[in-house]
Chains A and B, each alone.
Chain A
Amino acid sequence: MGCQNCNMLDPSGKCDIDRLEREPGTIYIALVGNPNVGKSVIYNQLTGAHQIIGNWPGKTATASRGQLKFEDSTYDFADLPGTYSISSDVAEERTVGEYIAKSTPDVIVNIVDASFLERNLALTLELLAMGIPVILSVNLMDMAEKNGISIDFEGLGKLLGVTVVPTTGLRGKGIPEILRASRLLAGKEVASVEKPFHTPRIAKAIMDLRGPVERMFPHSPGIWLAERLLAGDDELENMVRAIDPSLLDVVRKKRSELEREFGDLISSILASDRHAVAAGISFKTVKRSVQTKTPVGEKIHDVLTHRVYGILSIVAIAGLSFLFVFLVGDYLATIMINWFDSIQPSFVSLFSDPRLGTFLWNGLLGGIFSVISIALPYLLPLFIILAVMEDSGYLARVAFVMDGLLHKIGLHGKAFIPILLGYSCNVPACMGCRIMETERERILSIFAVTLVPCAATTVVILGLVGTFMGIWWVLALYMFNLALIAVLVRFAGRFLPEKSTGLIMEMPPLRSPSAKIVLRQSWFRAKDFVYIAIPLLVIVGLFLATVQYFGWLDAISDAMSPVTVGWLGLPAMTGILLVFGILRKELTLVMLGSIAGTLNFADVMTPVQMIVFTLVVMLYIPCVATVGVLVREIGTRKATTITLFEIGFAILVGGIAFRLLTAFA
């Protein structure tokens, strides 16, 4: 009876998690722990992978697997999402518990934060009941030592009956010890925990149920099942009902006895008791040297989360980051552009037909050229700043302060980060939306990001409206854009099923960022971007070069004139400009110069036309690289919806603006 693949006997025979396909001789290890204790850092160290790491909770959303060979053995690791408990009804917490129960790794490496042993141990106590050998990796030891915390590892190991390894994941300290301990423990029958880690009264209730439960499910960890049954796990109750419903009466009686005695709900009694036992163990094994003065980090934290100074510091830090990105980006971009411009003539002269040379230059090299000379110089400094904010723990503070404001448009605090990033380039900003917890919030913030004018759009806004109409019009456009984002995101939120969970986030500690992590993180992000952007830009570049080669520019502009001239009131030549803008938005302005044959755009466009044109460019499509990343992040269907909506919306807004501005001008 039941599912053959699992050691959890499921009478329904259904099983949604496959048992690991085991290679003989390989040791299977699951990394489990609270959020933000450094699981992914250790996983990266072990497997050479580059899982997203950073100093805020909730980065690992799904389990990932990787392998390592060490001293003649093969190890297979699963990096599981951070969780505070495996026995509650909360979906993400259940996932981890079920993964362990059904995939039955050889060893669980439970990673705990040395500075907050008390809270971390509550999860350890649950893991111990599962009948799988546990290694306790007491991580972030460097931070704990700095905070004056010392831990009696031997005593801790004895109290819990597990192997304890002090680790500092970032420096790889303790990693070999974890591997050796895993090899020793793997395949061994655990001397199963003889009694639950609970206070006597509750332990007795669990032990009373253990016998009957073990007879019912002989291959499963009895204490764990008994505790879950007592806690009122619906699924387990259904399984028990199918076999012997009379046991449920016994369980119900015990449950109500305890509830009456403790005056509390059973799940809370159990959680509360686990935390009390964990506090006791931590009290016996952890020593803190008394700190007399408030650490500097605390004081900075107070300023950053203050209701007034917090907002001021966001404005200041965002402003400085912008300045940094633009100054460094502009400097690098100028060097690159000059260099590319200087080699263009010699490249073209390689070919006997200069038209062919220009074709190849624009088509093949143009895409690569734009990535290296325009995007990367702005992106690299941006990625570095982002990584610094991430690793220092500042990001979590921004999320905290901005939460109230963003709630008004149906997002929450964390979304502020990618939206801010969007002002330099939408592509990494869309990828940054992965920090949002729920699918709904991720899609909404991606949508918000695609509406933000990126650096290339800024070139058009400044070059056209800024130069010929003045800074106030530029500001007005930006404000109008912000208002549009707020309205549209609120509106879009109505189409997505409401499943907002509300924020429960641990405040990560402030620390000075590590140069190694910052550079690694920036490098991987940049690489990701290049892989997405270059192929797309080359393809579209080739297409446009072909159009230009055969002299179809005017034909395209004519075909588009009902919209551009008829509805938007723009000059006919803007049609082809908008097509080129799909590739890179600043191309609309560059091409305008070459097609109009003048850089004094006031000769070819009226002020109203400039505003309308800029509005359309600002809104009409996420550029081709952004569309590429949209497809990857949210799938073809939603990416198409967003793209088509924004094209339609831009045309609509442009047309209305044309009519209103003409009426009032």
Chain B
Amino acid sequence: MEKEIVEQYLKTILSLSEGKRPVKTNEIARALGLAPASVTESVQKLAEKGLLKYEAYKGARLTKKGKEIASKVSRKHRLLERFLVDVLGLEPSKVHKQACAMEHTLSDEAEVALCRMLNHPGTCPDDGKTIPPCNLDVWSCDECKKIELSDSKNWDDHSDLRPLTKLGVGESGKVHFIRGGRSQLEKLNSIGMTRNTEVKMLHAAPLRGPVEISVRGCKFCLGRGIASNIFIQS
């Protein structure tokens, strides 16, 4: 299978599964506009490569490796969308296809450079979905500006990170990375939310509203925009 097709499959499965649920081949076929039979065949091939686990009737579930590739591609896709809209001034409704075509050829270094140039955006322009974090071993975007991209020890595996908003009620995890400027970071620092602090999700308000979390024994409400840029390691 070509790299492009593999990535397309993995990205689609990740966005359909929303992190947890196994995805049926029919759903994948519908999303990609392909015949179910050929999808089943491809999924089996991907399972052989160890990128996903497939059980007939239940569906496909990404492995850690598969998830890593998928979130990398979604990140590139969404960053490219931002680039097409913010810099080139294209219509938000028209950039999806273009980004789909470009995402597979963008190198990791170019991806980070793009992210820096766009000033570390948090969401993609067409449907407001969170852009997954990069693989740099940094704890804030301010730090990213200082480091050398070619140095391999600055890179880290971030496939297990989730935005705070994706934590289920009652679930907890450790803060790993906060996207955004220095003042946002310091504000969160001052309420005691620093790297490796344990946070617990208490409530999520309706209509993409804020979340209530507990940190160091205190309850705080964080707006959705802030919370979706705090990445948690479970």
Contact = CB atoms under 8 A, between A and B. Distances in A.
A640 interface: no
B142 interface: yes
Given A88-B190, A264-B139, A265-B142, A407 B208 contact: yes
Interface stretch (B3-11, B13-21, B84-92, B220-228): B220-228
Given A90-B186, A271-B186, A503 B221 contact: yes
B160 interface: no
B195 interface: yes
A265 B185 CA distance: 10
B194 A271 contact: yes
Most buried by A among B183, B188, B190, B197: B190
A412 B188 CA distance: 19
Interface in A242-300: 263-265, 267-268, 271-272, 275, 279
Nearest to B222: A504
Nearest to B209: A404
B206 A401 contact: yes
A89 B186 contact: yes
B37 interface: no
Interface in B205-234: 205-210, 212, 216-226
Contact of B226 (A122, A263, A504, A506): A504
Interface string A70-91: 0000000000000111001111
A111 B87 CA distance: 49
Residue among B187, B205, B212, B219 with max Cβ neighbours from chain A (10 Å) = B205
Interface centre among B139, B189, B223 (most CB of A within 10 A): B189
B212 A400 contact: yes
Interface string A498-540: 0000111111000000000000000000000000000000000
Interface stretch (A210-218, A304-312, A452-460, A573-581): A304-312
Contact of B217 (A119, A264, A408, A502): A119
A503 B226 contact: yes
B108 interface: no
B7 to A, nearest CB: 31
Given A305-B212, A404-B207, A265 B140 contact: yes
Interface string A100-125: 00000000000000001011001000
A93 interface: yes
Contacts of B205: 305, 307, 310, 400-401, 403-404, 413
Interface in B6-38: none
Interface string A472-512: 00000000000000000000000000000011111100000
B223 A403 contact: yes
Contact of B203 (A302, A396, A402, A502): A302
B106 to A, nearest CB: 27
A505 B216 contact: no
A275 B143 contact: no
Nearest to A306: B203
Contacts of B210: 400, 403-404, 413, 503
Contact of A90 (B142, B187, B202, B209): B187
Given A268-B139, A268-B140, A504 B209 contact: no
Give the interface residue-count category, chain A: 35 or more
A418 B208 CA distance: 22
B199 interface: no
Contacts of A83: 190
A279 B216 contact: yes
A267 B191 contact: no
A267 B189 contact: yes
A323 B221 CA distance: 31
B223 A119 contact: no
Contacts of B188: 504
Contacts of B208: 404, 407
* Residue of B185, B191, B220 most packed against chain A (CB within 10 A): B191
A403 B192 contact: no
A263 B147 CA distance: 13
Interface string A613-654: 000000000000000000000000000000000000000000
Contacts of B182: 89, 267
B204 interface: yes
A405 interface: yes
B218 A119 contact: yes
Nearest to B140: A265
A503 B225 CA distance: 9
Contacts of A263: 137, 139
B222 A271 contact: no
Contact of A271 (B139, B189, B202, B219): B189
Interface in A366-407: 396, 399-405, 407
A272 B195 CA distance: 8
A275 B206 CA distance: 32
Interface in B126-183: 137, 139-140, 142-143, 182-183
A267 B185 contact: yes
Nearest to B204: A307
B187 to A, nearest CB: 5
A402 B224 CA distance: 13
Contacts of A400: 203, 205, 209-210, 212, 221
Nearest to B180: A502
A83 B203 CA distance: 24
Of residues A263, A404, A506, which shows the largest number of chain B Cβ atoms within 10 Å of its Cβ?
A404
Most-contacted residue by chain A among B137, B196, B206, B208 (CB, 10 A) = B206
B221 A90 contact: no
A477 to B, nearest CB: 26
Given A403-B209, A413-B209, A413-B210, A268 B189 contact: yes
Contact of B206 (A267, A302, A404): A404
Nearest to A270: B189
B110 to A, nearest CB: 25
A279 B182 CA distance: 25
- The listed residue with most B CB atoms (<10 A of its CB), out of A268, A302, A400, A403, is A268
Contacts of A310: 205-206
B195 A93 contact: no
Contacts of A116: 217-218
A564 to B, nearest CB: 42
B220 A506 contact: yes
A530 to B, nearest CB: 35
Contacts of A279: 216
B140 to A, nearest CB: 5
B175 to A, nearest CB: 10
A93 B139 contact: no
Contacts of B139: 263-265, 268
Contacts of A408: 207
Among B184, B209, B219, the one with the most A-chain Cβ atoms within 10 Å of its Cβ is B209
Leading 9 A-B pairs by shortest Cβ distance: A404-B209, A404-B207, A85-B190, A503-B223, A88-B186, A272-B194, A271-B189, A502-B223, A507-B219
6 contacts: A88-B189, A119-B192, A119-B216, A265-B139, A403-B224, A502-B222
Interface of B: 137, 139-140, 142-143, 182-192, 194-197, 202-210, 212, 216-226
Given A119-B217, A122-B192, 5 more contacts: A91-B183, A403-B205, A506-B220, A507-B212, A507-B220
